[in-house]
């Protein structure tokens, strides 16, 4: 068994350094050591050969489709057409799911977590308005396929509150995705009371 460290040639040269040299386009510009060292010359030749597909792809000229910008802008505009709704486009049409539906899912998911005594509900729409029950404690904001969930709960006395919050985050995000395919990019948990 060899005592030679991984990633280092027998001459002591680091393979990562040689790869950087090749990636920078300097495979044939050798230092004095590399000119005299068979290990370095062989490694540079091998790395240069392995790197050639990357060079070929980098040299290709890429032309974007003429209508790319207009298609992207249409999708971006679609995100704000129906505020407070997640929008999913498919082969046969568009599905829009109201933020209040996501709020109900989030509240029900949090209520199922062991250690949660109560989770209340409210919807925050993209236009800044709120749905019924403005003093309640779940707000879900949706844009496109993404959601931000803010949820306030009362916890059972004696619970490890950090772990409880983690369980709430995981459960809410999993249920929201399972039922809507919406991605909860944030689940912010506020523990407001102990019971």
94 close to 113: Cβ distance less than 8 angstroms: no
Whole-prediction pTM value?
0.57
80 close to 128: Cβ distance less than 8 angstroms: no
Q: What's the pLDDT at 165?
A: 95
Q: What's the pLDDT at 1?
A: 47
pLDDT by residue (tens digit) across 115-133? 999 886 444 434 444 444 4
Q: How far apart, in whole angstroms, are the C-alpha atoms of residue 78 and residue 76?
A: 5
Give the single-character DSSP code of 118.
E
Share of the chain above pLDDT 70, in %: 85
pLDDT by residue (tens digit) across 61-98? 888 888 888 888 877 776 666 677 887 877 888 888 88
Mean pLDDT of 156-168: 94
Mean pLDDT of 134-144: 71
Given a cut of 60, is residue 53 above it in pLDDT?
yes
Share of the chain above pLDDT 90, in %: 31
Q: How far apart, in whole angstroms, are the C-alpha atoms of residue 116 and residue 154?
A: 6
Mean pLDDT of 48-70: 87
What are the structural domains of the chain? 15-59 (no CATH), 68-194 (3.30.70.1350)
pLDDT band at 177 (very low <50, low <70, confident <90, very high): very high
């Amino acid at each position: 068994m060899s005592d030679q460290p991984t990633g280092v040639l027998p001459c002591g040269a680091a393979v990562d350094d040689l790869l950087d040299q090749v990636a920078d386009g300097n495979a044939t510009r050798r230092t004095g050591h590399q000119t005299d060292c068979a290990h370095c010359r062989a490694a540079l030749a091998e790395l240069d050969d392995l790197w050639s597909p990357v060079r070929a792809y980098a040299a290709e000229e890429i032309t974007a489709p003429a209508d790319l910008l207009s298609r992207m802008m249409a999708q971006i505009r679609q995100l704000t057409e129906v505020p407070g709704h997640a929008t999913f486009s498919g082969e046969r049409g568009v599905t829009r799911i109201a933020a209040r539906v996501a709020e109900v899912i989030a509240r029900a998911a949090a209520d199922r977590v062991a250690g949660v005594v109560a989770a209340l509900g409210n919807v925050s729409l993209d236009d800044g308005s709120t749905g019924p029950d403005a003093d309640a404690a779940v707000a879900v904001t949706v844009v496109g396929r993404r959601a931000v969930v803010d949820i306030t709960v009362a916890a059972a006395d004696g619970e490890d509150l950090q772990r409880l919050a983690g369980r709430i985050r995981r459960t809410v995000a999993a249920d929201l995705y399972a039922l809507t395919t919406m991605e909860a990019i944030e689940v912010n948990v506020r523990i407001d009371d102990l019971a």
